[in-house]
Structure 1
């Protein structure tokens, strides 16, 4: 496949952790933003055709007051980026999908993900419909860079935000999704939409199992679910579900799945406590046992990431606000991910 590269960004990259197995605390060097001419966030990284492709959000200054429902994150399109090696030039392939081209969309084109099957690339995206309810849509292209053509309606049975699609070694694909507060996951806790729940379930629910992400196996067409979404259960060291009051460990948003050996690593953001955490299980459905923190808080409010293997090494893509200092104008970065011999992930301090 020949891909026309449009706009190289002359951005240098400094990696954290010069070699796998080294101590992050001893070798950490703060990376530079991968993109400097636009504000980008929520990077979803994939390896297609031996090249890294990044599918981030595109932050803009919408002049909307900041609130707990994320109204100030009023993004309107996606750019696709790529690079042939970590540390090399980052290519901007231009706009891959625009809000105005999605027939059912209203506003707020949030964190996307991508997948590939049988000659087609799929771009998954959350956006509020014309009733201001988040749904998840899908668009297709014959190129990893787009442009992507959206389906006329959202995925049936989808809701909330942050789709992440994982394809296992047996060829089955699964979508993980959900986010509380502005992501509206709490509004679906009874199975029906409740617009009155603005952030979480509120007082009196602190000692109940925390709201958590959803997972659904995809049909072979990658356009629809093959089942009703299930809860992604995250357990503590005693085999008990994490509780709603456990803000340092419970799921908030930003799900990601990767496999290492025969184990499944479910990673996510804790939101208002600003950690990237992970839990490990023996099935893509879980249950997953909480194992620890991948990354301590970055500068800025939100934390959203992806983890990918490339040329025998593992990398974490994430964002902070180094360029702007504003929580809604972010920039994407990458670091090497370091594991222990037992597969545990070493904690990164991004500061």
Structure 2
């Protein structure tokens, strides 16, 4: 362990800790790096190398009184490796808060894509009015540096942008998160700060759904008005707000396998990564089960990527810090069963 990691961990000793999952004995997967905290890992393969884009967790006082105020990330650090299990390179900051003209705080979970040799980093941040928007920055290298556009994407809101590139070249941006992610404040189509912290006050009503919009050809704007991604049960009914085991909370991610589209997401309060399947990148998607059982730590966030014909889940937990807002990225092999199901991953050896 590096000296930096020792200092970070020593600073955590007097703080209340997260509780490991019931019955857990040993962490199954090792952190990708130990000398800084990288969460919300979005992994991609560019030019034969694996790049991981994530939130750079830091330990400093919260700067607003909104839910999630302890997550005060100020820059993006990109990890890369030439193979799963190989040495990990930590690159210099690819984008800093002070270099985003419209942003005031909280560079939360990002994602990236590549087109014609250019790299596009999508990220949420609060504007001067404390409203989460989604921005885009571009660069000539996968790790950056990236230059932010002067304004957020028109029509964007909430958090957790995730880019999916379909086989025909079309790219779709998925986004949204309730609670601190503010999605519940956009029900009317306009921002309404009076709309509480979640939609759980109406447990029998349809749950808030994530959003999707196809990106324009230049990947800098929406080509259409964002629409809801409908998540259904086996009977074709919309999942309900009180269905905590299956409803969407945040962390949308889409991948395609054997002709199926898999929409994966965090359930929030019940701490799983769930999945639903459909026949179109727009959905609807039918709930199928759990990809990742609860990790240590309150939040859970992931990505799924094909590396040389084998699939991997990148996720985070709080093994190194025991603190909710200081998280470490990890990776696990992911298996699609012959019938299309995803084999549930347990982050612990029990």
Quick one: distance in 1 between partners of 2:43 and 2:187?
A: 30
Quick one: distance in 2 between partners of 1:64 and 1:134?
A: 16
| Displacement after TM superposition at 1:68 (Å) | 7.2
Aligned to 1:273: 270
| Displacement after TM superposition at 1:340 (Å) | 1.0
Change (3 A) 1:127 1:167: same
5+ residue gaps, structure 2, are: 5-25
* Local SS of the residue matching 1:94: coil
| Displacement after TM superposition at 1:66 (Å) | 10
Quick one: distance in 1 between partners of 2:65 and 2:326?
A: 15
Aligned to 1:335: 332
Aligned to 2:45: 47
2:246 is the alignment partner of 1:287? no
Contact 1:77 1:109 (C-alpha < 8 Å) held by counterparts: yes
Change (3 A) 1:340 1:107: same
Q: Which runs of 4+ in 1 moved over 6 A?
A: 65-68
Contact 2:41 2:303 (C-alpha < 8 Å) held by counterparts: yes
2:274 is the alignment partner of 1:299? no
Structure 1 residues 111-141: Cα deviation after superposition (integer angstroms, max 9, x where no partner): 0000011121000000000100000000000
Aligned to 1:316: 313
Quick one: distance in 1 between partners of 2:224 and 2:338?
A: 36
Aligned to 2:133: 135
Contact 1:182 1:198 (C-alpha < 8 Å) held by counterparts: no
Quick one: distance in 2 between partners of 1:65 and 1:350?
A: 32
Quick one: distance in 2 between partners of 1:87 and 1:294?
A: 21
Contact 2:200 2:242 (C-alpha < 8 Å) held by counterparts: no
Contact 1:68 1:181 (C-alpha < 8 Å) held by counterparts: no
Aligned to 2:158: 160
Aligned residues: 326
* Local SS of the residue matching 1:340: coil
2:115 to 117, 124, 143: 117
1:100 to 82, 88, 98: 98
Quick one: distance in 1 between partners of 2:166 and 2:75?
A: 29
Aligned to 1:239: 236
| Displacement after TM superposition at 1:200 (Å) | 1.3
2:267 is the alignment partner of 1:262? no
2:63 is the alignment partner of 1:74? no
* Local SS of the residue matching 2:56: strand
Aligned to 1:230: 227
| Displacement after TM superposition at 1:263 (Å) | 0.6
* Superposition CA RMSD, Å: 1.8
2:59 is the alignment partner of 1:56? no
| Displacement after TM superposition at 1:104 (Å) | 0.5
Contact 1:69 1:198 (C-alpha < 8 Å) held by counterparts: no
Contact 2:199 2:207 (C-alpha < 8 Å) held by counterparts: no
Contact 2:137 2:146 (C-alpha < 8 Å) held by counterparts: yes
Quick one: distance in 1 between partners of 2:330 and 2:63?
A: 26
2:81 to 75, 80, 83: 83
Structure 1 residues 156-205: Cα deviation after superposition (integer angstroms, max 9, x where no partner): 000000000001000000000000000000000111111122311342x2
TM-score, length basis structure 2: 0.91
